[in-house]
Amino acid sequence: MFYNPDGKTVIITAPSGAGKTTVVKHLLGIEDLNLEFSISACTRPPREGEVHGRDYYFMSTDSFKNKIEEDEFVEWEEVYKNSFYGTLKTEVRRIWRSNRNILFDVDVMGGISLKQKFGERAFALFIMPPSLDVLRNRLKIRGLDSPVVIENRINKASLEIRYAGRFDATLVNDMLDETLKQAEKLVRCFLENPVRS
């Protein structure tokens, strides 16, 4: 087995722009939750300010596909055409060797895969935008994507929202302070209680 059977995992997922990264950063800042961020591998180029080995493990498409062939991922997805993301088994081993709980920030299908892998040892939280119109405005304000890419993200989000029921809990990110407070409460409850066998 590539992971510690006594360890716990927290999976945060959401459509792009719904606020999962903000929730993840908040949770990582709470020392007594003993969480460590699982760095995903991806094939997209780094954005300004992103660092290999801190934000993502950036790799070529060929290298990523080789790792798929060699069964080096816990889970992986082709999120957009020729844009791959995944969780390396070495990353899970690294965190559990340090006796910390793993915090995953992943796309929706990756979240479903991880929940299936880790079962009762995982708490999976879906961050829901208040509406697709609000999500569209957030993506425009963020300023990272062209109008065409934004519409692709909105179309993808409308499909991803249908999977919210596959997760352990859903939070509508309308008032950020309340979302952060509720996310902390849910995660703390999971981590402090024994796993059902």
Structure tokens at 24: 């993840």
pLDDT score recorded for residue 193 = 87
pLDDT score recorded for residue 141 = 85
Whether residue 125 has pLDDT greater than 90: yes
Q: How confident is the model at residue 168 (pLDDT cuts 50, 70, 90)?
A: very high
In a domain, 197, yes or no: no
Q: How confident is the model at residue 145 (pLDDT cuts 50, 70, 90)?
A: confident
In a domain, 107, yes or no: yes
pLDDT score recorded for residue 5 = 62
CA–CA dist 129, 17 (Å, integer): 8
Q: How confident is the model at residue 187 (pLDDT cuts 50, 70, 90)?
A: very high
In a domain, 4, yes or no: no
In a domain, 1, yes or no: no
Write down the mean pLDDT value for the chain.
Answer: 91
Please compute the mean of the pLDDT values over residues 169-194 and round it to a whole number: 94
Taking only the tens place, the pLDDT of each residue in 76-93 is 988 778 889 999 999 999
Please compute the mean of the pLDDT values over residues 20-42 and round it to a whole number: 95
Whether residue 23 has pLDDT greater than 90: yes
Number of domains the chain is built from: 1
Whether residue 197 has pLDDT greater than 70: no
In a domain, 17, yes or no: yes
Q: How confident is the model at residue 149 (pLDDT cuts 50, 70, 90)?
A: confident
Whether residue 3 has pLDDT greater than 60: no
Find the length of the chain: 197
pLDDT score recorded for residue 1 = 46
In a domain, 25, yes or no: yes
How many C-beta neighbours within 10 Å does residue 131 have? Answer: 11
In a domain, 52, yes or no: yes
CATH code of the domain covering residue 104? 3.40.50.300
Please compute the mean of the pLDDT values over residues 16-22 and round it to a whole number: 88
* Sheet (strand 83-88) strand order: 57-58, 41-42, 83-88, 73-80
**What range defines the domain where residue 164 resides?**
9-192
Of residues 4 and 193, more confidently modeled = 193
In a domain, 15, yes or no: yes
Q: What is the 3-state secondary structure (H, E, C) of the chain?
A: CCCCCCCCEEEEECCCCCCHHHHHHHHHCCHHHCEEECCCEECCCCCCCCCECCCEEECCHHHHHHHHHCCCEEEEEEEECCEEEEEEHHHHHHHHHCCCEEEEEECHHHHHHHHHHHHHHEEEEEEECCCHHHHHHHHHHHCCCCHHHHHHHHHHHHHHHHHHHHCCEEEECCCHHHHHHHHHHHHHHHHHCCCCC
pLDDT score recorded for residue 35 = 96
